[in-house]
Structure 1
């Protein structure tokens, strides 16, 4: 015979089961809170699991907002008070929040995240998860007592949503930069930086040059003259390149190479800007053409322009020009702050930090001084917060090992990497395969193993690799050349930069 349980006893057991089940996420969050925040591991499995975090996190965000909406609607209108729906939403929310936080923690400890933004994002997630779990417990307690949800419940619900907003902001800032939300507002609040009266702005120096700086100068400057075209100064615009053509021919936009290039159809090799980069707007096209047609005077001010069409274009462009000027000044300030911080870190490390002229001084180069000082994992990790600022790195004759390529793989703007005379076997080369701009890799005088050379086959943009003094078999090198003819294999020591 089955033992008879009175309904009250069954409900009591169900209540205890729910309480115990909901205590589990809170116990997990407290455990994560007490674990060292800067724990680090390089397990490929943990990296794989952690990278599900960006896919999962949208579920708890939507569910928290949906649960809040149903609870509030039920408070305002009894027709929306549907406990079975709200319980289902709460249960799903608590589950997906727990899964998202666990995946986020694995990503945090395994994918080289560090710094205040990452920590604040992590702690905000723990607070959000804990608060929504307490909400569910309070909701169940109120229903078991046939009571309405009280102020404590709604306080935790408000805390959940506030914490969710903060955590989401930290996550967005971590992914896209700290100014991700504020950047579009720069043009609305231009008073935060010094701005000229628009009528006093010089047409070239303040407006045309801003357009060129934003869209063109990165590829057309004294250090990187793409297509033999210099656009970084007024004098350069009027100078003839090796082709004998001028970027700007005052009074004649049709003969000006600048206008010829921007008018080329999409997909043309010489079109400016190239495919994948933001092109000029219709107003910017018209402004450049009219400025050149009217003599390309560097001294004329906006308020002195008589041409009605040019004035109309200028008025439409001014908000965008102000935003671009703000961004240029903001980037300059951030670059100067980064340079000061990098130079402080480099002090005593035997490392030289300098702006990369080939990248128009928008990124930095790092190289060892001579004679090289000890430089290994800990010294490299000291630059973690500034990895996106490096375009050129030379770590020749250092203590760098294959595992350290995991960190170098975070330098997303890296173009040139020198690792000659290190102990690399090539086992860590897969860490660099997703670098979108890496063009030159120097592995001369390393104990590179034959099998690991094949990792370079998956590199996105590699154009040149130095392999002099490595123990690679000649047939392996030839097979590599055959399969990757677009990568120049150079059997020379190569420069140290």
Structure 2
């Protein structure tokens, strides 16, 4: 349904151009059939896309631009068909107006296809492969001056391990986000890295566990360390896990060969880390500017290693409702923790909060939330904490929480929800803790 109209429009354009260059290939019957089919299938694709658009399966600026581009494409090919038929009835070949409409159709088709690719595969779906083929130029150290830990080992750990092993999320009681943390003893009594002893280093033990093992690093489904990365990491630990070892000081030819093979990937990873940091800093600057206009606080969320943001209300809470919430819409995917305590948000506003795909904790304490809008939130993959204390939460709407994917804790203090309803809910869904305390407001 989606790709067939693209093929038809391109095939139609090819036949028209070839026929224009060589009259022997000009076949009005074929071109008329292709144009008619293009119109029919393009309009069908637009209708299918419209149904997705209004169902909120796809939302945001990319989805809107994709849809509007499709409308222009559909209009362009339809006008091309009408123009071609009109010229045919007069026994004249297609003229300038026809080619203008057909050109508009193709330009719009290219734009719409790009928007569709960005919507499906991410905005960098074109540039990312190019980055791997042509690593961006960066200011590089002289290879002999590169530090084995800072420039190589730390980069490998950052890209494959630190997301789950940082000061805010220490999976398996291992911290891997700094040299100091690697050498420190965790609560379990184990050290991630024991200098000079790879076999006694918990990091190395877990990296080499079978893929199906619960303690394996990284977990199943995520890319593990390559043979070269494992060899370099082992070598670094054997040599004392020092921060001072430079590549120019390494005399092991095998390790030097492996480092040379790794270097393109290391450079690409370093560029991506810097690129993400720059994007995050730009988003932070813009969010802080928006927040200052509404008297709220936006800051990096330390509980997720400062990769996302949290929003809090100042005291006393400023006026904050639908309009203020929508002002943050371009940055919804950047939020992991939101507190809207004592604001004017309503159940309808949960529709917008549902677009915060990284949301972990949502505080709606002392708002007018009755629970009618809770179904909007049910598909959030990471939402674990929901504070509904002092809201007019209704008994029937509490049942919506049964459909939530990751919810672990709900605060219901001061709500009119009956105790027997709470008891029945907890019996049916024991993994979700219902807490009859006020809970934190920020």
- Aligned residue for 1:255? 200
- Aligned residue for 1:10? none
**Cα pair distance change 1:63/1:458, threshold 3 Å:** farther
Q: Bigger shift: 120-129 or 242-251?
A: 120-129
* Cα pair 2:63 2:119 within 8 Å, conserved: yes
* Cα pair 1:346 1:353 within 8 Å, conserved: yes
- Aligned residue for 1:15? none
**Cα pair distance change 1:492/1:195, threshold 3 Å:** same
Query: Are positions 1:448 and 2:393 aligned together?
Result: yes
Query: Are positions 1:335 and 2:280 aligned together?
Result: yes
Give me the whole-angstrom Cα distance separating, in 2, the residues matched to 1:317 and 1:147. 64
How much does 1:316 deviate?
Answer: 2.3
Q: Bigger shift: 243-252 or 288-297?
A: 288-297
Give me the whole-angstrom Cα distance separating, in 2, the residues matched to 1:219 and 1:346. 29
- Aligned residue for 2:167? 222
How much does 1:271 deviate?
Answer: 1.1
Give me the whole-angstrom Cα distance separating, in 1, the residues matched to 2:199 and 2:41. 60
Aligned length: 441
Residues 317-372 of structure 1: CA deviation (Å, up to 9, x unaligned): 22221221111111111111111111111113221111001111100000111111
- Aligned residue for 2:377? 432
Query: Are positions 1:470 and 2:415 aligned together?
Result: yes
Give me the whole-angstrom Cα distance separating, in 2, the residues matched to 1:76 and 1:301. 64
How much does 1:107 deviate?
Answer: 5.4
How much does 1:195 deviate?
Answer: 3.4
How much does 1:164 deviate?
Answer: 1.4
Q: Bigger shift: 481-490 or 381-390?
A: 481-490
* Cα pair 2:413 2:438 within 8 Å, conserved: yes
Could you tell me the TM-score, scaled by structure 1's length? 0.82
Give me the whole-angstrom Cα distance separating, in 2, the residues matched to 1:426 and 1:309. 63
- Aligned residue for 1:92? 37
How much does 1:105 deviate?
Answer: 5.1
Give me the whole-angstrom Cα distance separating, in 2, the residues matched to 1:70 and 1:200. 60
Query: Are positions 1:275 and 2:232 aligned together?
Result: no
Give me the whole-angstrom Cα distance separating, in 1, the residues matched to 2:272 and 2:153. 16
3-state SS of paired residue (1:348): helix
Q: Bigger shift: 102-111 or 266-275?
A: 102-111
**Cα pair distance change 1:261/1:127, threshold 3 Å:** same
**Cα pair distance change 1:185/1:202, threshold 3 Å:** farther
* Cα pair 2:148 2:243 within 8 Å, conserved: yes
**Cα pair distance change 1:400/1:149, threshold 3 Å:** same
How much does 1:388 deviate?
Answer: 0.3
Query: Are positions 1:305 and 2:250 aligned together?
Result: yes
Q: What root-mean-square deviation, in Å, do the aligned CA atoms of Structure 1 and Structure 2 show? A: 2.5
How much does 1:313 deviate?
Answer: 2.2
**Cα pair distance change 1:67/1:304, threshold 3 Å:** farther
* Cα pair 2:135 2:264 within 8 Å, conserved: no
Give me the whole-angstrom Cα distance separating, in 2, the residues matched to 1:96 and 1:66. 13
Return 5+ residue gaps in structure 1 as ranges: 1-55
* Cα pair 1:203 1:301 within 8 Å, conserved: yes
3-state SS of paired residue (1:347): helix
**Cα pair distance change 1:196/1:186, threshold 3 Å:** farther
* Cα pair 2:136 2:271 within 8 Å, conserved: no
**Cα pair distance change 1:73/1:301, threshold 3 Å:** farther
Give me the whole-angstrom Cα distance separating, in 2, the residues matched to 1:238 and 1:114. 45
- Aligned residue for 1:493? 438
Select 2:125's aligned residue among 174, 180, 188.
180
Q: Bigger shift: 373-382 or 170-179?
A: 170-179
Q: Bigger shift: 336-345 or 235-244?
A: 235-244
Select 1:132's aligned residue among 69, 74, 77.
77
Give me the whole-angstrom Cα distance separating, in 1, the residues matched to 2:437 and 2:235. 52
Select 1:412's aligned residue among 341, 357, 374.
357
Pairwise mapping of residues 113-152 of structure 1 onto structure 2 (< 5 A)? Answer: 113-115=59-61, 117-118=62-63, 120-150=65-95, 152=97
* Cα pair 2:73 2:108 within 8 Å, conserved: yes
Q: Bigger shift: 341-350 or 189-198?
A: 189-198
- Aligned residue for 1:171? 116
3-state SS of paired residue (2:297): strand
How much does 1:127 deviate?
Answer: 2.8
How much does 1:273 deviate?
Answer: 1.3
3-state SS of paired residue (1:186): helix
**Cα pair distance change 1:156/1:120, threshold 3 Å:** same
Pairwise mapping of residues 186-197 of structure 1 onto structure 2 (< 5 A)? Answer: 186-197=131-142
Residues 92-133 of structure 1: CA deviation (Å, up to 9, x unaligned): 321332343355456556749454x45543443333222222
